[in-house]
Structure 1
């Protein structure tokens, strides 16, 4: 659609452009559009939304009514099949996202990463490996900064590393040069109409591939394996389960690339076998662009990504970890496995907004690997939450179904929960917030939830 960034700017001049969603990521986009000479209309469901620009605003309940103009940029969290968008397209309007435009105009190689688990750590590891190998790296998408506003500063020999959500991928028409799918398990079923739609969105990262591009895939992942025929171009595989048919695999304490051992996992600073998988994924994606020395350097120095089994405090002999990123049961089970493999006594803090998960297997794993479970989210009479269903009772019932006498405690606030945990915990215990749920029952996002947990631990 756009040949380069200047072509994009030229095509915006004099056009009427709607920007739907006035969060942090879209504000730089508005500035670009205004400088290009577009008439910009900002739209947001929040009646109190503001922007630091003198533009027309349509806010509140009817923010999508009477969509007019030439282009509409939507935020990823808004479904593209809303009736108002379809009517806009029917009138000749073009529905876009910032990431779609960036893929059109980016002058350098793009590495795109998606998956249900591990994508942020894998994205960060790829970036660190490339930096250690001398590349100028731009990191964006779900993490980092919006990339479209900095396009003019990106050089041909740079590399962009982009984390992509299923929301972003639903409408993507162009694939990265290197695509990575860490795994696919049920997630975001509160947004997607079905698990099948979620899978198709994830697989979109590996469709319409250009010649010479490839996709990194998890050979151990059942769902990915069922859809291999729908993935375009060359495929590379990694295996944590030691499948030697994979290009990169784990065996006997080492990561192998073919017959060569490229990394002793004892050199990996961040804990957990899931992070061994993240290292395999990252190395496989960029092994032609890096080497074993860079891999070892990153393994020894990289401290991990915040809110992902992040150690942050030790009080009275009890260690506290923040895994607030865990918005589903698979991630929490991985967290439990990390500590169980080390023989730790685990006190799990969980609960949050429901994404329609089945918690039966999580319940069995908690009963098997944890010492006690503390749940945040019980709703006392007279108290009100946002209109979001909470998972506390579901997780509680799943655990008690597996082990009727297992110690489960349910509270309303994080303060109450942490206070009770501190009274229960003994020296040598590990307390970890790994909610198996999203944060939206009480918090703006998982970062705010994780920070609140840390504050309660440190100040309580």
Structure 2
């Protein structure tokens, strides 16, 4: 029994605890705190009808519901759990803190109460796959692993059953990290590029949020940084414990790197050849980078044979260059996770030798698209655009120095059905069609999973 967690929940009994957002990730927390005797308040901008099953469950768990436009203004609570999507500096939250209300988050409390070793991953791209690879390494080596965080599963409901010999492997977004004041035992930063500038006040705030992953580590901790990414590598001077890096460009003194086609690890100069990168089952150089990051994180915990076995068998994470089906000789891939220009450029557009057809566009996070233009011109023959960012992506393509209107066709559509129908009508046998939005899903979909699932359902219904 985790006595720290037991004492924490004993203290929650009778307290007014509010949760912002009545989504699938908060529902287990609402139930948990209600079961522990807290007076739970569940707040959401949606009305009861729009919440659907989630609202019904929150009611069943005994929560008082605060719904509608003023859902943040009417909170009367001792403790408020902020959802990651609610900006930390939002006026209503600042007002709550100024009144002495405790403002926290599920991950902050989890880190305070967790009795086992923690490994956490953040970055602009690759963090979900890297987090999953780390968990696969540990599970294959016989460890009991608790996987969660931004990857979709709240871990606080498991806290009382976690033992000191377990491992917690978590993915953390900038929204979660902005208020974190405790860092993991092993921190991994995959890369950093402009992202989420619709929520953060500027790029510096975004970078500072990510940096929180390593700032509160101690001398017994480990940080894994990407040598090839200037911003990420710039965190080096802030590392207090062991520093390992990873690189596909340079040999390293401490960390995983690519030497020709061989993945190697240098343990302070003692070099181990691990495997040929072409043996990794999931394709793309960005996934080689993900493996280098994951190997650096678990070096000394997981043996080489286990690392190689996982690399050869792990098939990847849903919505990440996921093969959907082949229809009329055309292969369809779902890369809905590509919610930023860099994710599309370094992900989907790096995977295939021949020019492909992509479906792109979505919600505008106010990040620059100019760097994506040349890559699309180089790698795409038919560009199908939808959503708010469609004009930005089209402008980036047409303003690029390598734009040639005779070599790329651009089609604008209104929705996913139209996009797939256009792709199916224009594709020829041997072509590849990939959903790779380079944009967030909001506005058209609740999240990238819903977008990817919709894409897959339409593709699978093609006749």
**Which structure 1 segments of 5+ residues have no match?**
378-389
Report the TM-score, using the length of structure 2 for normalisation: 0.93
Rounded to whole Å, the distance in 1 between the matches of 2:279 and 2:384 is 33
3-state SS of the aligned residue for 1:308?
coil
- 372, 379, 383: which one aligns with 1:373: 383
Rounded to whole Å, the distance in 2 between the matches of 1:312 and 1:149 is 34
Q: CA deviation at 1:128?
A: 0.4
- The answer to whether structure 1 residue 154 and structure 2 residue 158 are counterparts is no
- The answer to whether structure 1 residue 80 and structure 2 residue 88 are counterparts is yes
Q: CA deviation at 1:332?
A: 0.5
Q: CA deviation at 1:87?
A: 2.2
Contact 2:384–2:411, Cα closer than 8 Å, also in 1: yes
Change (3 A) 1:130 1:416: same
Q: Cα deviations across residues 6-49 of structure 1 (Å, max 9, x unaligned)?
A: 12112212212222211112122122222222212221111224
* Stretch of structure 1 that moved more, 419-428 or 171-180: 419-428
Rounded to whole Å, the distance in 2 between the matches of 1:58 and 1:429 is 51
Q: Which residue of 2 aligns with 1:395?
A: 393
Contact 2:243–2:254, Cα closer than 8 Å, also in 1: no
- The answer to whether structure 1 residue 287 and structure 2 residue 295 are counterparts is no
Q: Which residue of 2 aligns with 1:335?
A: 347
Q: Cα deviations across residues 139-166 of structure 1 (Å, max 9, x unaligned)?
A: 0001252111111221110101000010
Counting matched residue pairs gives 445
Q: Which residue of 2 aligns with 1:188?
A: 196
Change (3 A) 1:28 1:10: same
3-state SS of the aligned residue for 1:102?
helix
- 439, 442, 445: which one aligns with 1:443: 445
Rounded to whole Å, the distance in 2 between the matches of 1:344 and 1:246 is 37
3-state SS of the aligned residue for 1:357?
coil
Task: Give the alignment of 1:277-426 within 5 angstroms.
Answer: 277-340=289-352, 343-377=353-387, 390-402=388-400, 403-405=403-405, 406-426=408-428
Contact 1:239–1:246, Cα closer than 8 Å, also in 2: no
**Which structure 2 segments of 5+ residues have no match?**
none
Rounded to whole Å, the distance in 2 between the matches of 1:404 and 1:397 is 13
3-state SS of the aligned residue for 1:184?
coil
Q: Which residue of 2 aligns with 1:380?
A: none
3-state SS of the aligned residue for 2:25?
helix
- The answer to whether structure 1 residue 169 and structure 2 residue 177 are counterparts is yes
Q: Cα deviations across residues 304-354 of structure 1 (Å, max 9, x unaligned)?
A: 0011111111111111111100001101001344334xx223111111111
Q: CA deviation at 1:189?
A: 0.7
Rounded to whole Å, the distance in 2 between the matches of 1:339 and 1:36 is 49
Change (3 A) 1:246 1:331: farther
Rounded to whole Å, the distance in 2 between the matches of 1:40 and 1:414 is 39
- The answer to whether structure 1 residue 136 and structure 2 residue 132 are counterparts is no
Q: Which residue of 2 aligns with 1:34?
A: 34
Contact 1:345–1:428, Cα closer than 8 Å, also in 2: no
Q: CA deviation at 1:245?
A: 4.4
3-state SS of the aligned residue for 1:58?
strand
Contact 1:354–1:437, Cα closer than 8 Å, also in 2: yes
- The answer to whether structure 1 residue 15 and structure 2 residue 23 are counterparts is no
Task: Give the alignment of 1:35-54 within 5 angstroms.
Answer: 35-48=35-48, 49=51, 50=55, 51=58, 52-54=60-62
3-state SS of the aligned residue for 1:4?
helix
Q: Cα deviations across residues 368-406 of structure 1 (Å, max 9, x unaligned)?
A: 1222211123xxxxxxxxxxxx01111112112231413
Ranges of 4+ aligned residues in structure 1 off by more than 6 Å: none
- The answer to whether structure 1 residue 244 and structure 2 residue 252 are counterparts is yes
